[in-house]
Amino acid sequence: MPVLARWIEAAGIPTVVVTMMPDLASALFNPRTVGVEFPFGHPFGMPGDTAMQGRVLGEALNVLAGADRFGTRIDIDIEWPVPRKEAYKAWQPPEPSPITQWWIERNMLER
Amino acid sequence: MKIDSYRFLPRSFRPIYENPTPDGTDPVWAPFEKRLGSSRIALLTSSGMYIEESQESFDLDRERAEPTWGDPSFRVIPKPLDRIGLAHLHISHDDILADPNIALPIDRLVDAEERRVIGEVAPRHYSVMGFQGASLEGWREIAAPGIIDLLHEDEVDGLILAPV
Considering CB atoms only, which of B22, B90, B96 is closest to A27? B22
Task: Specify whether the CB–CB gap between B3 and A35 falls below 8 A.
Answer: yes
User: B36–A61: do the CB atoms touch at under 8 Å?
Assistant: yes
- At residue A83, the 3 state secondary structure works out as coil
pLDDT at B4: 97
Contacts 24+ apart (CB under 8 A), B152-157: B152/A11, B152/A12, B152/A13, B154/B40, B154/B42, B154/B122, B154/B123, B154/B124, B155/B40, B156/A13, B156/B40, B156/B41, B156/B42, B156/B122, B157/A13, B157/A14, B157/B32, B157/B33, B157/B34, B157/B39, B157/B40, B157/B41, B157/B119
User: B8–A64: do the CB atoms touch at under 8 Å?
Assistant: no
Encode pLDDT of A67-108 as tens digits: 999 999 999 999 999 999 999 999 999 999 999 999 888 888
Q: Which helix (DSSP H) or strand (DSSP E) does residue B76 occupy?
A: strand B74-78
Closest CA to B160 of A74, A50, A34, A39: A34
Q: Which helix (DSSP H) or strand (DSSP E) does residue B42 occupy?
A: strand B40-45
Task: Give the domain ranges of chain A.
Answer: 2-82
pLDDT at A85: 96
User: How close does chain B come to A72, measured CA to CA in Å?
Assistant: 11
Q: Taking the model in full, what pTM does it have?
A: 0.97
Flag whether pLDDT at B19 surpasses 90.
no
User: A29–B109: do the CB atoms touch at under 8 Å?
Assistant: no
pLDDT at A57: 98
pLDDT at A108: 80
Flag whether pLDDT at B56 surpasses 90.
yes
Please give the ipTM for the structure prediction.
0.97
Residue type, B124: R
B143 vs A: CB within 8 A: yes
* CB atoms closer than 10 angstroms to residue A71: 14
Provide, rounded to the nearest whole percent, the portion of chain A with pLDDT above 90.
Answer: 91
Say whether the peptide bond before residue B80 is cis (omega within 30 degrees of 0).
yes
Encode pLDDT of A24-59 as tens digits: 999 999 999 999 999 999 999 999 999 999 999 999
